[in-house]
Structure 1
Amino acid sequence: MELGSYPDPYYLCSMLEYKNELIDELVEKLNLQQISLEPALVQSAQDIASFEDLKLFIERFTHMHTPASNLAEELEEEVDILVHKLKFIPTETRPKVLLLENIDPASPLQSALTTESIRIAGGVPLEIQEYKDADILLIKQDEFLLYGQLPQFIQQEEWSSIPAIKNNKIYIIKKDDFANVPGKDYLLELEILAEIIQPKYFIFGHQGIDWVNFDLG
């Protein structure tokens, strides 16, 4: 193989174990044939904890490979549209949202970026110790296990009286890799949250595909 010839677009990354699903996503969107990455840039992809972090990473990535790309600006415009629609809803009237990764035992999904996304989507994220205040309960768990566990879970004394369960506001995230890789499918996951949390304002067509309302009957 000639020096500088990389038939595999991920040659430099795979040799150094730098593969990352967010980077894969950007490579596909930008239709890149080959890339080279600085270790610091790859590390910054793994450390994304906010939308500003994500935007900065995309700006740095595109500056290295496609300087004319407006990918970061386009993403920011989409987020700004969502924020603008909700700007007149006071914080005190926004639903309190608890996001669980498992229900047996109940454990929260730990993601700084997703916590921020809940706020952007019009909700107030809760810690697990605040579960009794939850207006909306989001659950991301293997569906096969979840549907067998949910009926018993919602009948537990400590959970049965929370607003989310009393008002049939239990939602199951069907997207398998939801919040697994910070920044990957960012806009899609933000739209999922917005549809659930503020359904009067947002319909993106993800219901039934990426999320469902668990009907208590």
Structure 2
Amino acid sequence: MSDLRIVSLIPSATEIVHSLGLSDRLVGRSHECDFPESVRSLPACTQPQFDPNGSSPEIHDRVTELLQSALSVYRVETELLRELQPTHIITQAQCEVCAASLAEVEAAVAQLSQSQPKVISLQPSVLAEVWENMRLVGEQLGSDAEDSIASLKQRVEEVRRRVAGQPEPSVVCIEWTEPLMSAGNWVPELVQLAGGVPYLSEIGQHSPWTRWESLEAVDPDVIVVMPCGYDLQETQEDAKHLTQHPVWPQLKAVQTGRVYYCDGNQYFNRPGPRLVDSLELLAEILHPSCCDFGYRGTGFSTI
């Protein structure tokens, strides 16, 4: 489809488009889309309506205030969309805190009188739904996703082969540090595939707020910190909200040195093809003796 003009309003969708070999058809992106590197030069069609800089409690308070005031967390740049004249806009209906909502995108599209782009909405919560999203995007854009999916599934099976028969540590993944939130949706599934047993969240269910008492009661073998939207350095800096809590030094994972800080922004927070990278990263954390994929120092650290 030589006339394709794609705007992706969520990083995972941008990465799906890239996996389909259609990066050159992208004409716009969200303010958070940064992979592959080439998309950074594209105009940003969304902007946050809050200051995204600051600590986890500061950001939580800003977003909560917007939501309680019935205001949108993100702004869709309608005039820019009018200039770009996209044929397709890819968005999400997963989380109104993560990216512009489907309703906001549809409202913006309704104002584009000269063009009516096709809106593709994604809402995956487990790996199988990521594969289906890739197929959906491929079908809508005239590109076959099956080879890409098959390659990703082969990598999943390779991880499963490597960790088969290994001890299964108990694992808690933390998606937000203050207030405390454990990572849900696809993350517990990744933990299982990587040879661990997930606690404080359920496969396919939204990430739940949790309590320190619950974390203390579970006392997992491994804690993986992956705050939504934070890179590795930001995660390390924000970890003070964990390390300064009186329960923290009493936890088994802390005492045995099995706490890991991750680049959640590039990996676990994006339900696209790089969830398989996230799986490999987790397997390297949980079973370093049989899984060395090269993520230490770039995707995760222990400091």
Cα–Cα, structure 1 residues 161 and 78, in superposed 2: closer, same or farther, change >3 Å?
same
The higher relative CO (CA closer than 8 Å, separation ≥ 6) is in: 1
The correspondence of residues 38-77 of structure 1 with structure 2, limited to 5 A, is: 42-43=120-121, 45=122, 47-64=123-140, 65-67=142-144, 69-77=146-154
In structure 2, the CA distance between the partners of 1:24 and 1:83, relative to structure 1 (3 Å rule), is same
Query: Structure 1 residues 176 and 50, CA, compared in 2 at 3 Å: closer, same or farther?
Result: closer
Does 2:124 correspond to 1:134?
Answer: no
TM score, norm. by length of structure 1: 0.75
- The structure 2 residue matched to 1:169, chosen from 258, 273, 278, is 258
Mapped partners of 1:68, 1:150: distance in 2 = 41
Within 2, Cα distance between the matches of 1:31 and 1:152?
46
For the 8 Å contact 1:49–1:112, the answer to whether it is kept is yes
Give the aligned partner of residue 188 of structure 2.
115
Q: Which residues of 2 match residues 1-217 of structure 1 at below 5 A? A: 6=3, 9-10=5-6, 14=7, 19-32=9-22, 33-34=24-25, 36=88, 42-43=120-121, 45=122, 47-64=123-140, 65-67=142-144, 69-89=146-166, 93-105=167-179, 107-127=180-200, 128=210, 129-131=214-216, 132-141=218-227, 142-143=234-235, 145-146=237-238, 148-153=240-245, 156=246, 158-183=247-272, 185-214=274-303
Higher helix content, 1 or 2: 1
8 Å contact kept, 1:174–1:212: no
Q: TM-score, normalised by structure 2?
A: 0.56
CA change 1:160–1:147 in 2 (3 A) is: closer
Using a 3 Å threshold, how does the CA distance of structure 1 residues 208 and 144 change in structure 2: closer, same or farther?
closer
Could you tell me whether the CA contact under 8 Å between 2:13 and 2:90 is conserved in 1? no
Equivalent position amino acid for 2:235 in 1: E
Unmatched 5+ stretches in structure 1:
none
Deviation at 1:151, TM superposition (A): 4.2
How many percent identity over aligned positions? 19
Instruction: List 4+ stretches of structure 1 deviating above 6 A.
Output: 37-41
The Cα shift of 1:85 comes to 1.9
Aligned length: 195
Structure 1 position 150, deviation (Å) = 4.9
- Cα separation, 1, equivalents of 2:181 and 2:19: 32
1:76–1:144 CA distance, 2 compared to 1 (3 A): closer
RMSD value, Cα: 2.9
Code of the residue aligned with 1:103 in structure 2: it is T
- 3-state secondary structure, aligned to 2:268: coil
